[in-house]
Each structure stands twice: as C-alpha cells, then as structure tokens.
Amino acid sequence: MTARLLIQLAALLGGLGVAIGAFGAHSLHDMLAKAGRLDTFETAVKYQFYHVLALLAIGVLWTARPELRALGTTGWLWLGGILVFSGSLYALCFTGITKLGAVAPVGGLLLMAGWVSLLLAVREL
C-alpha cells in the first residue's frame, strides 16, 4: 500500500458510498423500510464513510511523513473492514440472506484492528 493508493481508494470508496447511499435512500427506501433493513443499510453507509475519511487522512499524513510506512497496514485493515463489514450489510439488505449478518463482526474486528494499527504507526510522532 502507498499513500497514493490510500487516497485513490478513499476517492473510489467515497464515490461509491455516495452512489450506494443515494440509491438506497431514493430507489430502495420503501423496500428497505418494508423489510426492516433501513437502519442496517444506513449503518453500512455510515461506517463506510467514516473509514473513507480515515483512509484519506492517513493517505495525506503518509504523504507528509513518508517514514510512517506502517500506515500501509492500517490502510489494508480498513479496506478489508469496509469491504467485509459494509459489504456484508449491503448484501444482507439487498438479498435478505440473514446469515450474512454473521460476517459483519469480522469486518468490525478489521476496522478496530486498523485503529490499533494507526495507534502503533504514529507512536513515535
């Protein structure tokens, strides 16, 4: 992972987050609400955006401080967390396969591990 890739991923996942969020809010709102999955969908979008902003921040930080190579690990953990956590919740919302909800905690652990990784990466600032 590089600082440039972190920023590119933040841009890509941010754009997708806007598209997915708008699609859900406008085109799928009634279907998600009727299925009782609107809150789940909103949680997936929120966590995606929180971590997109975090990816962007560490990309900018890494550009300013290229010696902080451990930020790459943080980026991989957050990318995996976004894909697994938000991805499994999106899949649950769109397919109704409730077993996908059991995958979300793995993504949550990746997101938390990313925060620990950030703590360790910047301990010498």
Query: Mind listing the pLDDT tens digit for each residue in 10-34?
Result: 999 999 999 999 988 888 888 888 8
Q: What is the pTM of this model?
A: 0.93
How many CB atoms within 10 Å of residue 19? 10
Domains of the chain by residue range: 3-121
Stronger pLDDT, 28 or 75, i.e. the higher one? 75
Answer with the residue of higher pLDDT: 36 or 83. 83
Residue 78 and residue 114 in contact, taking contact as beta carbons nearer than 8 Å: yes
Dist. CA 105–CA 108, nearest whole Å: 5
Residue 107 pLDDT greater than 90, yes or no: yes
- What is the per-residue pLDDT for 29? 80
Q: Which residues make Cβ contacts (< 8 Å) with residue 5, sequence separation at least 6?
A: 59, 75
How confident is the model at residue 36, as a pLDDT?
84
Phi, psi of 33 (to 5 degrees): -65, -45
The sign of the CA dihedral 9, 11, 16, 22 is positive
DSSP conformational letter for 98: G
CA-to-CA distance for 14 and 24, rounded, in angstroms? 15
